[in-house]
Amino acid sequence: MPVAVHFQNWGIIDYQEAWDKQEVLFKEKTEQKLAARTSNLAPSIPIAHHLVFCQHPHVFTLGKSGDANNLLLNEEELNKAEATYYPINRGGDITYHGPGQLVGYPILDLEQIFTDIHKYLRLLEESVIQMLAHYGIKGGRYEGYTGVWLEPDKPSARKICAMGVRCSRWVTMHGFALNVNTDLSYFKHIVPCGIDDKDVTSMERELGFKPNFEEVSEILKEKIAAQFDFTYL
């Protein structure tokens, strides 16, 4: 039976504001689950699933297992780059978000879908891989790392989509960042995901033209639905 998911597009939104909104949805889900378990009752209202798409102004975020030294700018240089910086509560190391990058935040109760975080990440990756294939871009996986890569088995391996998630009581938040028409120069200010010997790319760079952002978003939305058996509300 398909899983009903509330889809929202927040447009271009400040990172802190989006994080706060995620936390509200995440807290609602986890508190409802905890209350149900404490009382040994099933939740009276089904716990909603959410998928959020958005873009952010220039920002660098550092996962809880990351190294702050992988940000190569000081405070003055951050201001000059018109960027902000946040240590956050997802997994992974440092990454960049900015205009032209499609950021996805699935806020799901995996206990209602499947209790396998590795499967969750692989299905997110597969959704991106299939969307890229629609444009003739061959995406793949780099063994030992999350995200989607191009030519992962060659010295020219380059990352096109980063992933970093948080999962508590099987409720997820944070998610993925796909470089569509992203200004790749900002990645020079970090050691992306703590990997210092691999390049970062975008759909625009690979295609040689700027793909329509809304079209990419819609195709990826449908690929996610197909992989997870979602129906959108």
- Looking at residue 195, its pLDDT comes to 67
DSSP 99: T
The total of structural domains in the chain comes to 1
Write down the catalytic residue from 54, 161, 167, 193: 193
- Looking at residue 33, its pLDDT comes to 79
The 10 Å CB-count burial string (b at 16+, else e) for 104-128 is bbbbbbbeebeeeeeebbebbbbbb
Structure tokens at 112: 């209602």
- Looking at residue 43, its pLDDT comes to 52
DSSP 199: E
CATH number of the domain bearing residue 146: 3.30.930.10
**If you average pLDDT over every residue of the chain, what do you get?**
92
Give pLDDT tens digits for 23-70.
Answer: 999 998 888 877 777 766 555 556 689 999 999 999 999 988 888 899
Residues 6 or more apart whose CB falls under 8 angstroms from that of 229 comprise 2, 3
User: Measured between alpha carbons, how far apart are the two ends of the chain, in Å?
Assistant: 15
Give, in order, the Cα–Cα distances in Å from 28 to each of 35, 47, 117, 129, 167.
11, 8, 20, 32, 14
pLDDT over 90 percentage in the chain: 76
Question: Who wins on pLDDT, 192 or 92?
Answer: 92
Amino acid at 42: A
Domain housing 35: 3-232
Is position 161 annotated as part of the catalytic site? no
221 — pLDDT class (breaks 50, 70, 90): very high
- Looking at residue 45, its pLDDT comes to 56
Q: Does residue 202 contact residue 184 with C-beta atoms inside 8 Å?
A: yes
pLDDT over 70 percentage in the chain: 94
Structure tokens at 230: 């979602």
Across the range 207-211, mean pLDDT stands at 98
Q: What torsion do the CA atoms of 182, 183, 187, 192 make, to the nearest 10 degrees?
A: 0
CB pairs under 8 A, 24+ apart, for 66-70?
66/92, 66/93, 66/94, 66/194, 67/93, 67/94, 67/194, 70/94, 70/190, 70/191, 70/194
